[in-house]
Amino acid sequence: MIDLLADKVLYKGNIHILRLCMDYKELGRKVLYFLFDPLVHGIKAMGIKPNHITFLGFALNILAIMHLLNYGDCAGMSYGDNLIGFGLLLGVGGLMDTLDGRLARLYDLKSRFGAYFDSVVDRYSEFIMFLGIILYFYRFDHIEGVIFSIVALMGSVMVSYNRSRAEAFGVDCDMGLMQRPERIVFIVLWAIIWGVIYTRSKAYFTVEWMGIDIFALGFLFLAITTNITALRRMWYASNMLKQSNT
């Protein structure tokens, strides 16, 4: 009896959190659509297809990583310059992920292949992004950054995997704080903020706190929040599936 009551309380709590997340995401979507719909109309007028934008976003992710790993190869380029350039390129690449879906919905260009292609390219983009970040920390001998990034990658993969498996069983599991858009926004802002700080201080080296690279601490936060999101989705899906079996 106690177990049943606990399950009901947790189930109601999960529903409440899911509704809050949906409200937050819906507000964010409305703001983005208001800002970028004129751009979407212009893209359609140029004859550009959603899949073209998806591939462009993938290419920008690769360029962002190439720029991040280019430290020391360009005369006068500081540690901060790399982070700013990386953040800006990654941000524009992330924007493509919004524009392709919006273009497809506004002009009824949706297709099963397009949805599949977008999902697969998103996974490749994220793997390449984290691989580049891992190599970046390894280049500076910041093993803690390598570890944080690997755990963050693991959490990011499990966030997406939990959703796909839950949906295979008929459970809508689009919930949690650190979904793909939030992860990209966080990394972009974190890179640009520290890039500006390093540039203003004319730093040509990393800054550490208790022996840990300050920039790496952002990926510790990401490692924690992505895995919390993944576990939260697993917990929610488990409760929903238990409810459906009663």
pTM beyond 0.85, yes or no: no
Tell me the torsion sign for CA atoms 54, 175, 215, 223. Answer: negative
User: In this structure, are residues 18 and 175 in contact, taking their beta carbons and an 8 Å threshold?
Assistant: yes
Q: Would the pLDDT of 2 be above 80?
A: no
Average pLDDT over residues 188-205: 79
pLDDT value of position 4: 42
pLDDT value of position 168: 83
Q: Would the pLDDT of 165 be above 80?
A: yes
Tens of pLDDT, residue by residue over 53-92, are 999 999 999 999 999 888 645 444 556 678 889 999 999 9
Q: Would the pLDDT of 47 be above 70?
A: yes
Domain with residues 2-244, CATH architecture: Up-down Bundle (1.20)
- Rounded to 5°, the CA angle 71-75-81 comes to 45
Tens of pLDDT, residue by residue over 86-122, are 999 999 998 888 888 888 887 878 888 888 898 899 9
Distance CA 206, CA 188 (A): 18
Quote the percentage of the chain above a pLDDT of 70.
Answer: 78
Rg from Cα positions in the chain: 20
Distance CA 180, CA 131 (A): 16
Average pLDDT over residues 222-246: 87
Residue given tokens 């190869």 in the structure block = 73
Summary mean pLDDT of the chain: 81
Average pLDDT over residues 127-156: 92
3 state DSSP class of 209: strand
Residue (of 165, 28, 159) closest to 102 by Cα position: 28
Q: Would the pLDDT of 9 be above 80?
A: no
Distances (CA, A) of 72 to 12, 32, 38, 81, 230: 54, 36, 40, 11, 37
Tell me the torsion sign for CA atoms 217, 218, 224, 227. Answer: negative
